[in-house]
Amino acid sequence: MEHIETEIKFNLTDIQSLRKRIIELGADFEDRVFETNIRFEDNKKSLLRKKSLLRLRRDTKTKLTFKSEPPLKDDQFKTVMELEVEVNDFDTMKLILEHLGFHQAQIYEKWRETFKLNETTLCLDTMPFGDFLEIEGEKENIKKVASKIGLEWGKRITLNYLAIFDIIRQKLNLPFMDVTFGNFDKIRIDLEQYRHLIEAEGALRR
């Protein structure tokens, strides 16, 4: 079913303290998984040009997701139109997409812990380039939960992880496109120096 996904992110300097804080607030732990994601594209880069995403994800399940821009944009939040379906076989689905003319454009990995709190989904994400909290839900609930946790609204991030990586890749002239822990094994990333580029308020001022 198609729906509008609404979320924001915050970069974390102390993920352990944040985890403790949301548990103290009564958040219900759901699971912790390792994700492998493949972003697909065609030879004309049609999806990228339309600001759309076709993704195959494997954790404890396999899901195929299509995301596109919503009818109305909102500078306060990251909003996308989303279609998602669970499939049984990661490798077979990958082959189907390739036979349909898509190719593997990018891989990205992530450790994700999921919690539920006040009608929102909280995801503690460890990316190869840093730790983040993602809050998904209705707009007012997102704001309330962010405030309860003690997060500064002006430091929210509305970019997706691949857009954040693209900023890092360009600034550091990284020679790779895949966002894997192996690729970042010997690279230290200080996201503090890129805050003005990735945080929503900084982006609005540019």
What CATH number should be reported for the domain holding residue 189?
2.40.320.10
- Predicted model pTM: 0.94
What are 140-169's pLDDT values in tens digits?
Answer: 999 999 999 999 999 999 999 999 999 999
Q: Which residue has the tokens 């004309």?
A: 44
Are 177 and 106 in contact, with CB atoms under 8 Å apart? yes
Q: According to the model, what pLDDT value does residue 48 have?
A: 96
Q: What pLDDT does 206 receive? A: 45
Mean pLDDT of the chain: 95
Structural domain harbouring 61: 3-205
The number of CA neighbours under 13 Å toward the Cβ of 36 is: 9
Instruction: Provide, for the chain, the percentages of residues in helix, strand and coil under a 3-state DSSP scheme, each rounded to the nearest 5.
Output: 30, 40, 30
Q: Which residue has the tokens 């079913």?
A: 1
The domain tally of the chain equals 1
Nearest to 180 by CA among 125, 124, 106: 106
Please tell me the distance from the alpha carbon of residue 65 to that of residue 39, in angstroms, as a whole number: 10
